Amino acid sequence: MLTERLQSLGVEPETAMEPFVPAVDAFHERTSASDWLEGLVKAYVGEGIAQDFYREISRYVDEDTRSLVVSVLEDTGQAEFAVMVVREAIAQDPRLAGRLALWGRRLVGEAITQAQRVGVERDALASILVGAPGRAGADLAELGRMFARLTDEHSRRMSSLGLSA
């Protein structure tokens, strides 16, 4: 669906995504999981943060694009598996909770750093966020609230894992 949408706009998907590869690679390089549980937390938390960011950005695009973004991000139930496994592991060994909570904090910090990096480095994304001539965007206060919402959702997600944010 995303490929079709980009192509309908006259943009090749690989070309559109190329500028974002360094930020995604940097996130993965800086957050290499050391075991299965860290990998599950990373998948659950990382995916959630990315989805939250895409939803936030979709507030500033046209309705067709916003609808596409929202439909692509619909939950397919995979998150439930990660939550179940992590909660079971913590129930068996409560000492895991502290380590995994620190890991979750590291993940959100790195994800927000990379999101800010992309926002600053990509003029097109910056113009979506803060507006371009003749188009409204978010002011700096709203950008602050956006990152606060991302953090709040992260806290909710961590709580569902049985971890403190």
Task: Give percent above pLDDT 90 in the chain.
Answer: 46
Cα 39 to chain centroid, rounded: 16
Q: How far apart are CA 3 and CA 165, in angstroms?
A: 35
Q: What pTM does this model have?
A: 0.81
The 10s digit of each residue's pLDDT in 35-86 is 999 999 999 998 898 899 888 888 888 899 899 999 988 866 778 999 999 9
Mean pLDDT, all residues of the chain: 86
CA max distance for the chain: 57
pLDDT of residue 139: 62
At residue 13 the predicted structure's pLDDT band, cuts being 50, 70 and 90, is: very high
Total count of domains within the chain: 1
Range name among 17-26, 124-133, 143-152 with the lowest pLDDT average: 124-133
The 10s digit of each residue's pLDDT in 120-144 is 776 666 666 655 445 555 566 777 7
Could you tell me the residue range of the domain that residue 27 belongs to?
2-161
pLDDT of residue 38: 97
pLDDT of residue 101: 96
Q: Which two tokens stand for residue 9?
A: 């706009």
Angle in degrees, 0-180, between the axes of helices 36-58 and 96-121, rounded to the nearest 10: 40
CB-CB contact of 151 with 161 (8 Å) = no
pLDDT of residue 131: 55
- For 85-108, b/e burial (b = at least 16 CB within 10 A) is bbeebbeeeeebbeebbebbbbbb
* Helices of type H across the chain: 2-8, 13-17, 21-30, 36-58, 63-72, 78-92, 96-121, 123-130, 140-161
Domain CATH code at residue 137: 1.20.1260.10
pLDDT of residue 136: 53
Rounded to the nearest 5 degrees, what angle is found at the Cα of 55, between the Cα atoms of 35 and 57? 110
**12/113: higher pLDDT:** 12
